[in-house]
Structure 1
Amino acid sequence: MGGPHGGPFLLFHVLCFLLTVLEVGSQNSKACALWCPPNSSCVNGTACRCAPGFISFSGEIFTDPLESCDDINECGPPSPVDCGGSASCQNTEGGYYCTCSPGYEPVSGPAVFQNESENTCRDVDECQHRPRVCKGRSICINTEGSYTCQCPPGLEFNPEDPRHCTDVNECTSGKKPCHNSTHCLNSVGGYECRCRPGWKPIAGSPNGPNNTVCEDKDECSSGEHRCHNSTICVNTVGSYTCHCRQGWVPRPGFQDKQMITVCEEIFFPAWTAPPGIKSQRLSAFFERVQKMSRDFKPATAKKSMQDLVRSVDDLLKNSGDLESLGQSSKHVTATHLLSGLEKTLRTLAKAIPKGSFTYRSDDDTELSVVVQEQGKGNVTVGQSHARILLDWAVAAAAGESGPSVVGILSSQNMKKLLANASLKLDLEKLKETYESPVRGAKVTLLSAVSSVFLSNPNTEKLDSNVSFAFTLHEQPELKPRQELICAFWKNDGNGNGSWATSGCWKMGSGNGSITCQCSHLSSFAILMAHYDVEDPKLALITKVGLALSLVCLLLCILTFLLVRPIQGSRTTVHLHLCICLFVGSAIFLAGIENEGGEVGTRCRLVAVLLHYCFLAAFCWMSLEGVELYFLVVRVFQGQGLRKLWLCLIGYGVPLIIVGISAGAYSKGYGREKFCWLNFEGGFLWSFVGPVTFIVLGNAIIFVITVWKLTQKFSEINPDIKKLKKVRVLTITAIAQLFVLGCTWVFGLLLFDPESWVLSYIFSILNCLQGFFLFVLYCLLNKKVREEYRKWACMVAGNRYSEFATTTSASGSSHNQTQALRPSESGM
């Protein structure tokens, strides 16, 4: 076709084909048309006819070569074939047929038919012909032309498999099919309405259907209960409980108000006298308690509590030989009484009916008790002496199911046994407050002693704090280093006790009362405490000064005994004065502090010895004044008292004073913190009185001595320089102040312990009295100095002959003026 003649050749063939067609058409105008489409037949050379079941757009016969014959849908509009009921028309290519609808089948004849007249369709029962069409417990239900699967009553289709049925729990479905007095019991495919345990159907009502109605069954009245004979049956809604009888408590291991509760009768607690305390009054009290125990009946528990309070009042009011007990024994007795009262009253209170009562004895002792069921919220128990506020849940003991008890016993008479009891303070806190160590406190009871008891015996650490309000029967005037504190009586575990403050603090005061809070319970009271604050500097000065004085006094004693040139009546007085001061200072330094806080035999002995030694020292100081008077004022009228009289006065007078004091009031010796004279009853005047008399007498002698010395200095040398005279007189006067004990005037003027200036002056001067005596009697005495030189040379190995020759030559020039100089005469 790509040759030079390809194009003309193709055009020639096309023209030949067209001419042939035109020629054939013109020759066969009456022949069949060759272009009839499928599903049609030729009518003539220009028309075609659609086959049955087909039709063209122009109708059955068409002439347009471009038309086609399409299938006629006999089953569709506008004139669908009527196949009859329960049948459906099915269109086919060029035709149709009728068949029975699903769920139907022909009774007779073919399954395919052409019109309604041939229709014999009838419903098919799938549930009979197909028994497993529905699975599980579902039920097949035939319908017109079909079927359905349904669950029986009480069942529902499983969401995971709609053909399987599962049980419906009508009791939990929220439909509440049963009455609220019944209990719904679910079953497979259903439920029942049954009465709960402890209930029964009302009269005429069945037990099971959904119309069942129940009522409570009274097991107690019907006798169906199983309560122990030690309990009482109490009916409850749907059940019952077994309560202990009045005056009975659950046995160990059981709880009250249970179906298996077993109870036992309340007994008076065993309470005997404290061991080691010998007292007829105390023994009589516990015999009375034992009689109350034997006669006790739970029905008379309230009367027993009142009798017990009166018995304690009688014991404390008419204490008898209890007064003669030592302080430690009194505190042991008080601890035993307080703990025993708490235990006994707690037990007896459980036997009284619910409610509250208050008893006040003739001696103003009050007992208040509240008994009620356990619960929440606060409870207040009050009386005239004290009130307590606590959470009711604190009162119940762990595992206790019965009524709870809260009680408070307030006694004024208990103060007698707790007098002079020690107080354990928070010393670190007080040290921070006063910036000095606190040695202790002297306390005064300002309120009644109030003991609190609960059903709960474990009250050492409470879940919530307890508030107290104490009434003050005295309105104290607080001085420096004094304050009101909330204290409790603490058992030390050995039967003894003391006041303590840990776990208690003061909240406020006003209108004659003090409010406190505590995290535990015990016996409480309001105390006024006075602290003794120790000055560390003053204590150091005292110890160092006394130690130095002891060394100097020992040297003085050896000097007066060994140096013969100074022997005489005055030396005798010096010697015994130094001996008394040495012994007294040594005892003071070693035993003045009472470490235990209890006044025992050792402390009393130390106080007696100090009283005697210092009184003897002052008596010898008075003899110093007498000797000085004879030496200066009556120099030409005698040599003073004889040695026998000196010893009788110096040692006999203080012995008489101490003997009378000890015989009149032996308890005046010893204090809680120091082994010295007690301040009570003016007993201190047995020392202060004689000292004041001696100091005043020596002060008069001192004034006379200085006046006479002034005259003698003027008579001996009228031309002596005024400045030198003043210097000599000043040295002499100062020396005699220490010899005559006039420095104790500062102690007599020390009325206020807060006056630190006088305290320091008094301590320094008197602690160094031995040092001053050594300087005056030994170092300023020329004869003593010569003996010291002699002893020093003997120790060094030098010959004494040369030394003695020199000293004898110098000694011949002594005159009366030198003899009167304090530095040489020893005055």
Structure 2
Amino acid sequence: MWILSYHRQHSSCHSCPRNAYCVNGTHCTCQHGYESQQKFFTFPLTICEDSNECAPPISLYCGVNAVCKNIPGSYYCQCNSGYRLLSGGIQFNSSNENTCQAITSSITPPTEDKEKLQQVVSKLESLVNNKTHWENAEKGEVATMATLILQKVESHVLEIALKAPDQKVQKVHNRSIAVETRVVTNNCSEGGKIFNLQAEKNSVDIDCNDIVQGNIQGPSAVAFISYDSLGEIINATFFRERNESDPVYLNSRVVSVAVGPKRNISLSKPVTLIFQHTEKNRNSKTTFCVYWKSSEEGNHWSTDGCDLIHVNKSHTICNSTHLSSFAVLVAFTNQEDDPLLTVITYVGLGLSLLCLFLAALTFLLCKAIQNISTSLHLHLSLCLFLAHLLFLIGINQTEPKVLCAIIAGALHYLYLAAFTWMLLEGLHLFLTARNLTVVNYSSVSKHMKKVMFPVGYGVPAVIVAISAASKPHLYGTSAWCWLQLAEGFIWGFLGPVCAIICVNLVFLLLVFWILKRKLSSLNNEVSTIQNTKMLTFKAIAQLFILGCTWCLGMLQVGSAARVMTYLFTIVNSLQGIFIFLVYCLFSQQVWKQYQKWFREIVKSKSETETHTLSTTQTRHKTSEMA
């Protein structure tokens, strides 16, 4: 009865989700312009998504010189840049209403204003062409002069647009600059209006409300400016976040987006910028969306507030939460894909996965060695096994970007977890040496059982959660599903790793000091000393296995980069083999257990063969008697 009542309550009009309405009082269906997986449904959490009428399979046709624009729940048609409706309107609903005509009077601004703009352009051209001036000037002076040029061009272009508000669209093309401006005089009466401006095959989409900026009296304008040669002056050397090991190049024109009469920097909605590459990406490693930042520290390219949305060989799409001058920087790697490194990686990680699997089985099934130390080894092996497996499967899965970001986050967590369990190994070694007793000492076990799981799996989760919450867009690159170098994001991994390695080194030094200090007083406790020495040897080996490999990775710079790359790849891919050797094959107890298992297998096989032979002989005798 309760279930029936619940079903009725949740099948009523009151429970239909957003953008849906009730049908016959029993089912819900999406409103016009929205769709769901089922036409009629009762589940209250069903999502009605916007139907994009402008995209396949619908692809509404608006007629010549016009384009379809999708908005939530609907769409509208709009004349292309340089065209307008005969009625003077801004949008229409179908190709039957298309009266888009070329704007002949607005292509050329008033003569006086055009001469002012031409003066700015001429000054820019003379400055760009004066190579001696730029080469002799200091870097700070170059940045300051370029900033002044950008600001002056923006102010003059907006001034021209606002002086002729009846000319809604203006375009100016010059050898060095391409400009498009839009004027808004109706205070954004059309809700959800997005303006698209284009210049030299670059474009920007900006919300009308960010142009008008509230209740400004009079017209407002937006200007989109594309500079042809300015990138040669404010080039990639002004990008402070670049990685010195790989060259960084400006791979687009410098563009500016500005609004007036009141200058607006922050936006209610991000603008979308589409850049055409000046050259097709070759061995691109990382793409950066950057803007020209003016600060007390100087003028330079920065990625703050600029997010990479999509990149292919010919174009890059970026989002920005503020208005400025923008460009695309690309970091290229000079090294082609090395097939030998690929073979080493896959063969080494394959062997490591096998050894980590055998080590985990040993830790689980070998009762003679099961204690706190073995539990630490087990979880370390599991984390490395999952990390290596995910690396082999997903490190190259860069599309879709959401999946790549998830893989990068999972790898971040698993490798941090492996290092955290290594830290617990170092702590356990120190506590054992301090008590000078066997590994399963009750006091050590009591403390370790309380902290091992919250620390081993909780601390990496907190670090990854903070990283993902602060800068989720930096998970995944255009080449690998790993952490990006931009904004120092990689230190979300390297920082904890370096800290763990340093702490474990301190633990090892303390253990050596304890052994040296109390060695003479433990002449009659040889087994204890041997166990502690063996544990110390294993911890040192583990510190080398995990710690030194990543240190080699950080040393891949300069002339020794290629050698360090090979060393890093070889040693890092064989981690599982080292762990199996140190913790299993070098242990007498494990060897005894292996021998016991081997004897049991041989005995079982022998008994099976004897039983089979006996059964065969019995059947043979029975057949002879018959």
TM-score for both structures, normalised by structure 1: 0.38
Higher RCO (CA-CA < 8 Å; seq separation 6+)? 2
Higher-helix-fraction structure: 2
Greater Cα radius of gyration, structure 1 or 2 = 1
TM-score for both structures, normalised by structure 2: 0.49
